[in-house]
Chain A
C-alpha cells in the first residue's frame, strides 16, 4: 500500500479523475441544454380524453402531454378528488391545452386517475396564432368572407392553401410596416431634427420653413400612399377564416390573418415532422420574437450579441495591445509599473456589475449627455447618446475585458527572446521598427489568446449590459438600411439577457421554458463559433512563426 502511494499511482488517478469530472461537467451543460432546447419544435401529438373533475362533472380535454410527475394520492384526495386505490402514489400529467382566450391557462396539471383513455383524432389541428398562444381543436370548415368553402376532410387542404396566401400577405404588410414606413418615420424624425437645429442656430428663415414644409408634405404624401396600400392588404388578409370545435364543444371561428402556422400533428409522418421541425428551427434563428418573446425567433438577440462582441473586440484589442506594449517595451521597469501591473491584474477580478454601474454613470450619463449637448442639441430633451446603447455596452465590456488583453499581450511580448530583438537592432532597425517588424508579429498569437478570452467573457456577460444598453425588445437593429446605417446609440437585444427575460420575466413561463434552453444552447454555440474563429486565426499566426519555441 505504501509503495502504491510512493509510486505516484494515486496521483495519476486523482488527476485523471479531475479531467473526467471536468469533461462530464462540460458535456452535461451541452447535453442538458441541447436535450431540453432542441425538442421544442418537434410536433407533439394532440391527445383527447375525458377529465372527471373533483365535483364529478366530466369534461372533454384536448392538449399536448408535456410532462409527467409522481404525486401523492393523499394530496390529491385533500384537494377534493375521489380516488379509489390503495396506492400511495400516482402520476399526474402537465397538459398544454392552449386556447388561452377560452380556457384561461395554457398549461395545467391533471391527475392520471381522473383522466380517461387518450385518443389521438386525425382531424385535430394545432394552430400557432400570432396572439393568444396555441390553439387546438377539431377542424370543421374553412370560410371565405363568411361563406363556407370547404368542410370535413377537404377542409385541411383548403386551409393550408389559404394559410399560405394569408402568410404571404402578412409578410408583405410586415415588410411595408417595418421597412418602408420605418424609413418614412426615420425621415420625418430627421426633418424635425434638422428644423430644430436651424431654429437653435437662428437660421430658420421663411425660405427654410417653406422648404421643410414642402419636404414634410412629400413624406406625408408617401405615407398616405403606403397607408392606402396597407389598408387594401389588411382587407384582403381578413378574407378567410376557419372553424374548429374546441374542448368544451363550442365552435370557434378564427381569422387566418391571426394564424402564423397550422399543422395536423396526429396525421403527420416522420418526414412531415422533420420538415416542420426544420422550418420552425430556421424561424427561431431568423425571425423576430413574438408574444413577449415566448414565440417566434430570436434573430435580433443573436445579431445584437454578435455585433456587441465585435464592437467590443474592435475597441479592446488596439487599446489593450498598446497599453501592454508601453508597459513591457517602453516603460522603465520600476515600482510604478509594477503597481500598475498589479492594479490591471486586479481589475480582472472586479465583479462585472461594477463595470455596469461605471458604464452607466460615466459613459451614459456623463460622456453621452455631454455628447448630446454638444452635437445633438436639436433632439434634446430626448437623449441620443445620453441613454444606454450598444456603443456604451461595447465600451463597458471593452473596459471589463481590457485586463485580459493586456496581461496576455504582455506575456507574449515577454516571451520574445532578447536575441531576436538584438538581431534586429544590429541590422540597423530602430526600436520602433524592431517592434513592428519582429516583436509584435511574434507576440500576435498571445494577443489572439487575449482576444479569445475577452470574447468568451464578454459574450457571456449579462449583468452590466442590463445597465448600459440591453433591452427586452428592441424595435430596430443597430444596423439597418437608414443612413448612417450603423446606429451606435440604439438599444439592442442580447441572448444572455433574453434567457433571463424569457425564463423569469415571461408571462407564460411553462411555454417559454424550452426556449430558455434553446436560447442558452444557441448562446453557447455562438460563443464557440466566435472562439473557433479566433483560434483558427491564432493557429494561422502560430504557423507563420512556427519553430520559435526553444530559441
Chain B
C-alpha cells in the first residue's frame, strides 16, 4: 500500500520533471510511461516523451543506455525479440501502437526505419527502392518508376545511380548503400523516419552526406535519430533527448541541452566526463 503510493508519487514527479519542453504542440509520437524488459532485466524505465512533427529529434547517451531499444519500440521492431516485454503506451494519432488491432505492417509503413549497417537487399537498385511498394501491391510500371525516381532524388542518390538502376544494390559504396536504404524507406512516404546510428558504419564524407540529407528531409518527415556522436546530434537535431541506464534524463531543444543542461549527468556526458 505504502509502496504503491510512493511509486505513484514518483511517477507524478517524473512526469513533471520529464515533461517535454518542446516549443511546438504538434506531436507525432507520444510515449507514455513505457517500461521494457528483456526477460527479467528492465531496459527502459518509465519513459515518457513526445516527438515533435517535422523536426529532427536526437537520442544520445552512452552505449547500452536504451536509446536504440526505445527507437525500435516506435515501429515495434522489438516484437521480433521473443523475450521482450513492454508495458506503457506509444500513441500515434491518439492510437496506441501496442493495441491488439494494430496492423504492424501498416505501422511500419508509417514509421520507416534505417539501420546502423546498410542492409540493401540482394536485388537491383530499382527493386530495392520498389520493394515496399511492391509489397503494398503496387505493380504498375509507371507508378513504380515515378516513385523510385522520387525516392532516390529524396535520398540524394538519383544522380549517382540513374544510369544503373538495374545493377545490384550490393555493388554501391557504403554511403550510397545507406542512402539507398533511406530511399527505400522514403519510397513509402512515411510520417516518421527512425534512423538508428545511420552513419556510424560510414566514413566521414559519406557521413556528412547523410547529415545533409537528414537536414533536408525534415521538411517532409519527422526524424528520430539515434547517435553516439554528440557533434552530429548538435549539428542536425532540433531536439535532443539524453538517456542513461534506461532512463530518460533530459529532453529539450538541442541548444539548451548542449549549452545549459539542467541535469548534472547530461552536462557530464556532454562535456565528456563519462560515456
Residues of A in contact with B (beta carbons under 8 Å apart): 417, 419-420, 422-430, 433, 437-438, 441-442, 544-548, 551
Which listed residue (A424, A544, A551) contacts B131, Cβ 8 A?
A424
Q: Is B265 located at the chain interface by the 8 A CB criterion?
A: no
Residues on B with C-beta less than 8 A from A547 are 122, 168, 170-171
> Nearest chain A CB to B122's CB is how many angstroms away?
4
> Nearest chain A CB to B93's CB is how many angstroms away?
17
Residues on B with C-beta less than 8 A from A428 are 105-106, 108-109, 132, 135-136, 188
Given contacts A427-B131, A427-B184, contact A546 B168 (CB under 8 A): yes
Residues on A with C-beta less than 8 A from B170 are 545-548, 551
Most buried by A among B80, B119, B185: B119
A427 engages B188 (CB within 8 Å): yes
Residues on A with C-beta less than 8 A from B115 are 419, 422-423, 426
The CA of A496 and the CA of B250, in the complex, are separated in Å by 77
The CA of A420 and the CA of B170, in the complex, are separated in Å by 12
Selected A-B contacts with CB under 8 Å, 15 pairs = A417-B119, A420-B121, A423-B115, A425-B80, A427-B184, A427-B188, A428-B108, A428-B135, A428-B136, A429-B105, A442-B122, A546-B122, A546-B168, A547-B170, A548-B122
Residues on B with C-beta less than 8 A from A430 are 105
The CA of A424 and the CA of B135, in the complex, are separated in Å by 10
The CA of A425 and the CA of B136, in the complex, are separated in Å by 13
Residues on A with C-beta less than 8 A from B254 are none
Q: Is B75 located at the chain interface by the 8 A CB criterion?
A: yes
Residues on A with C-beta less than 8 A from B252 are none
Of residues 153 to 185 in B, which have CB atoms within 8 Å of A's CB atoms?
Answer: 168, 170-171, 181, 184-185
The CA of A551 and the CA of B118, in the complex, are separated in Å by 9
B80 engages A437 (CB within 8 Å): no
* Chain B window 106-145, contacts with chain A (Cβ cutoff 8 Å), 1 for yes, 0 for no: 1011001101010111100000000110111000000000
A419 engages B117 (CB within 8 Å): yes
Which listed residue (B75, B109, B119, B132) contacts A551, Cβ 8 A?
B119
Residue of A nearest to B134 (CB): A437
Which listed residue (A419, A420, A426) contacts B112, Cβ 8 A?
A426
> Nearest chain A CB to B262's CB is how many angstroms away?
34
Residue of B nearest to A417 (CB): B119
The CA of A483 and the CA of B120, in the complex, are separated in Å by 51
A423 engages B181 (CB within 8 Å): yes
A441 engages B122 (CB within 8 Å): yes
The CA of A428 and the CA of B86, in the complex, are separated in Å by 21
Q: 11 more A-B contacts (CB under 8 A) besides A423-B119, A429-B131, A437-B134?
A: A422-B80, A422-B119, A426-B77, A426-B112, A427-B109, A428-B132, A428-B135, A441-B122, A547-B170, A547-B171, A548-B122
Residue of A nearest to B108 (CB): A428
Of residues 74 to 96 in B, which have CB atoms within 8 Å of A's CB atoms?
Answer: 75, 77, 80
Most buried by A among B108, B112, B171, B181: B108
Which listed residue (B80, B112, B122, B132) contacts A545, Cβ 8 A?
B122
Residues on B with C-beta less than 8 A from A427 are 108-109, 112, 131-132, 135, 184-185, 188
A420 engages B109 (CB within 8 Å): no
Residues of B in contact with A (beta carbons under 8 Å apart): 75, 77, 80, 105-106, 108-109, 112-113, 115, 117, 119-122, 131-132, 134-136, 168, 170-171, 181, 184-185, 188
Given contacts A437-B131, A546-B170, A551-B170, contact A424 B185 (CB under 8 A): no
The CA of A441 and the CA of B131, in the complex, are separated in Å by 14
Which listed residue (A417, A425, A546) contacts B77, Cβ 8 A?
A425
> Nearest chain B CB to A257's CB is how many angstroms away?
65
Given contacts A429-B135, A547-B170, A551-B170, contact A424 B121 (CB under 8 A): yes
The CA of A547 and the CA of B169, in the complex, are separated in Å by 9
Which secondary structure dominates chain B's binding surface?
helix
Residue of B nearest to A542 (CB): B122
> Nearest chain B CB to A287's CB is how many angstroms away?
48
Residues on A with C-beta less than 8 A from B185 are 426-427
Residues on B with C-beta less than 8 A from A422 are 77, 80, 115, 119
Residue of A nearest to B131 (CB): A427
A438 engages B105 (CB within 8 Å): no
B121 engages A423 (CB within 8 Å): yes
> Nearest chain B CB to A57's CB is how many angstroms away?
83
Residue of B nearest to A426 (CB): B113
The CA of A438 and the CA of B169, in the complex, are separated in Å by 13
> Nearest chain A CB to B77's CB is how many angstroms away?
7
> Nearest chain A CB to B184's CB is how many angstroms away?
7
B75 engages A438 (CB within 8 Å): no
Residues on B with C-beta less than 8 A from A548 are 122, 170
The CA of A428 and the CA of B108, in the complex, are separated in Å by 5
A437 engages B113 (CB within 8 Å): no
The CA of A438 and the CA of B132, in the complex, are separated in Å by 12
> Nearest chain B CB to A392's CB is how many angstroms away?
40
The CA of A438 and the CA of B128, in the complex, are separated in Å by 11
Residue of A nearest to B109 (CB): A428
> Nearest chain B CB to A447's CB is how many angstroms away?
15
The CA of A442 and the CA of B106, in the complex, are separated in Å by 25
Residue of A nearest to B113 (CB): A426
> Nearest chain B CB to A419's CB is how many angstroms away?
4
The CA of A544 and the CA of B167, in the complex, are separated in Å by 10
> Nearest chain B CB to A146's CB is how many angstroms away?
78
Residues on A with C-beta less than 8 A from B188 are 427-428
B108 engages A426 (CB within 8 Å): yes
The CA of A16 and the CA of B253, in the complex, are separated in Å by 67
Residues on A with C-beta less than 8 A from B120 are 423
The CA of A419 and the CA of B75, in the complex, are separated in Å by 15
The CA of A390 and the CA of B39, in the complex, are separated in Å by 54
Residues on A with C-beta less than 8 A from B134 are 437
A544 engages B122 (CB within 8 Å): yes
Residues on A with C-beta less than 8 A from B121 are 420, 423-424, 438
Residues on A with C-beta less than 8 A from B117 are 419, 551
Residue of B nearest to A428 (CB): B109
Residue of B nearest to A431 (CB): B80
> Nearest chain B CB to A116's CB is how many angstroms away?
77
Residues on B with C-beta less than 8 A from A424 are 121, 131
The CA of A425 and the CA of B122, in the complex, are separated in Å by 15
The CA of A425 and the CA of B188, in the complex, are separated in Å by 13
B108 engages A425 (CB within 8 Å): yes
The CA of A425 and the CA of B184, in the complex, are separated in Å by 12
A419 engages B108 (CB within 8 Å): no
Residues on B with C-beta less than 8 A from A437 are 131, 134-135
Residues on A with C-beta less than 8 A from B122 are 420, 441-442, 544-548
A420 engages B168 (CB within 8 Å): no
The CA of A544 and the CA of B127, in the complex, are separated in Å by 13
> Nearest chain A CB to B87's CB is how many angstroms away?
23
Residue of A nearest to B184 (CB): A427
Residues on B with C-beta less than 8 A from A546 are 122, 168, 170
The CA of A365 and the CA of B185, in the complex, are separated in Å by 58
